[in-house]
Amino acid sequence: MHAGCLILLALTVFSAPPGTGSVGSLILAAAVDQPDLATEPLVSIARVEPGLRKPDAQLSPLPAEIPDVSPFYEVAEGKKAPFEFGASPLRSEEWGQPVGGMSGAGLEGRSPEARSRLAGDGGTDASEAAVERGLWWLAAHQRKDGSWSFDHREGLCRGLCRNPGSNTSSTAATALALAPFLGAGYTHQNGQHRQTVERGLYYLRSRAMVTSNGIDLQEGTMYAQGLAAIVLCEAYAMTGDESIKDVAQGALGFIEYAQDPKGGGWRYNPGQPGDTTVTGWQLMALKSGQMAGLHVKSPTVLLVNRFLDSVESEGGARYGYLDRTARLSTTAIGLLCRMYLGWPRSHPGLQEGVRYLDQSGPSPDDMYYNYYATQVLHHWQGSEWKRWNDRMRDTLVATQAGEGHEAGSWYFDHKHAKEGGRLYNTALAIMTLEVYYRYMPLYRESWQPH
Ligand SMILES: [Zn+2]
């Protein structure tokens, strides 16, 4: 389908009459039999069967060819001109048919034509070039087996880049590194990073464990499960590749199983009472699944509201981590979840929350907060978005490493950044700069310039 057509569809989907909470349609379209949330658990937790490595017959062999990252280093070493936006390496003839769940589903901005048009609405040539450089840094730090590690020093790097992370989840690192490629429209079928993405997806699928409760990719933490599910759903949505469908659906099934049946949230382990950060990733995964046209259970989605209610304060304007003690980063996550769960732009809690983020402004070092708050303000649009974006975008462009092996990456010295290190900071910074086209804004039709 033509990109222009897709945009038109997106506008149609998101243009419900003002005040009707158009976002609800995005994720709750199937919510016909709404459960009574005041009653007892909606999900009964069964024990996890000991997982078996999935002997995936459909998994074709890992591509033998290692992606060539030398052009990137010629640029970094000044032997070649920097990447120019406009001379986009994404060639439209490589795109074939963008099919599957993409139409009217929120991912339409990622096609090359749409990307270059939408990037002009808030992005700059410099921010788009920064995205491309960041992706090359990620590609250069992929391991031979297709995975990434938060300790990025293996392979070509040999410790040339500082700030390795300490977290050991390879599925979390791999999914977090893959997400920015998909966010810019690069899949395992299209664009210049095909091999990198294919190898990464291959690795994720090789780690998938089949259980009686769905496909377990958590490798010790539900963070990884949520991230991996997002990537699998997006890859399926963007390509229609049937060989990914089952594992994506199974990953969503495991998320549904792992929800705290009483409180509605998620934490590190299945069934635990939730926290806001882990819950945020699971809801984003369910949303990605819905955008991909996969089956997402409406009781699971609706129950997330109960968790958010338990950590909110100021009428839904602020959110805590495990309780109502509000923090900036969890407030941004909570507000984004509320937007996806259908709060209209006229909701007083949402309005007050956006005002709070607007007054607080981007953080100089907390990329977790910046990543979520940028999405909240992009969906919100208006003068608050413009104010936020001008600062956020220019800060990220200015702070990207420009020299040596670190060229293209980011690192901010924040207490929460140590675990994920340079890889985590780089992935979040790239996705923050992809905000213009990664997801279509939810309230596009319902805000008026003032
Ligand atoms: Zn390096």
Q: How far is CA 268 from CA 178, 222, 259, 364, in A?
A: 22, 5, 11, 28
pTM for this predicted structure: 0.80
Percent share of the chain, pLDDT over 90: 65
CA–CA dist 283, 264 (Å, integer): 11
Taking all residues of the chain, what is their mean pLDDT, rounded to a whole number? 80
Instruction: Find the mean pLDDT for residues 164-170.
Output: 94
pLDDT of residue 442: 79
* Nearest alpha carbon to residue 88 among 161, 193, 10: 193
Instruction: Find the mean pLDDT for residues 257-264.
Output: 97
CA–centroid distance, residue 201 to ligand 1 (Å): 22
pLDDT of residue 61: 52
Asked if residue 441 lies in contact with residue 193, where contact means CB atoms within 8 angstroms, the answer is no
CA–centroid distance, residue 403 to ligand 1 (Å): 11
CA–centroid distance, residue 51 to ligand 1 (Å): 34
CA dihedral 150, 155, 161, 164 (to 10 degrees): 20
Q: What is the CATH number of domain 3-438?
A: 1.50.10.20
Q: Where are the domains of the chain?
A: 3-438
pLDDT of residue 60: 52
pLDDT of residue 205: 94
pLDDT of residue 203: 95
CA–centroid distance, residue 438 to ligand 1 (Å): 26
Percent share of the chain, pLDDT over 70: 75
CA–centroid distance, residue 57 to ligand 1 (Å): 35
Low-confidence winner among 98-107, 201-210, 326-335 (lowest mean pLDDT)? 98-107
CA–centroid distance, residue 135 to ligand 1 (Å): 13
CA–centroid distance, residue 177 to ligand 1 (Å): 14
For the chain, the maximum distance between any two Cα atoms, rounded to a whole number of angstroms, is 66
CA–centroid distance, residue 127 to ligand 1 (Å): 21
CA–centroid distance, residue 138 to ligand 1 (Å): 9
**Does the pLDDT of residue 57 top 50, yes or no?**
no
Task: Give the single-character DSSP code of 270.
Answer: T
* Nearest alpha carbon to residue 172 among 113, 244, 229, 134: 229
Asked if residue 161 lies in contact with residue 153, where contact means CB atoms within 8 angstroms, the answer is yes
Instruction: Say how many residues make up the chain.
Output: 450
List the shell of residues around ion ligand 1, using CB closer than 5 Å: 157, 160-161, 405
Q: Which residue did the predictor score with more confidence, 303 or 25? A: 303
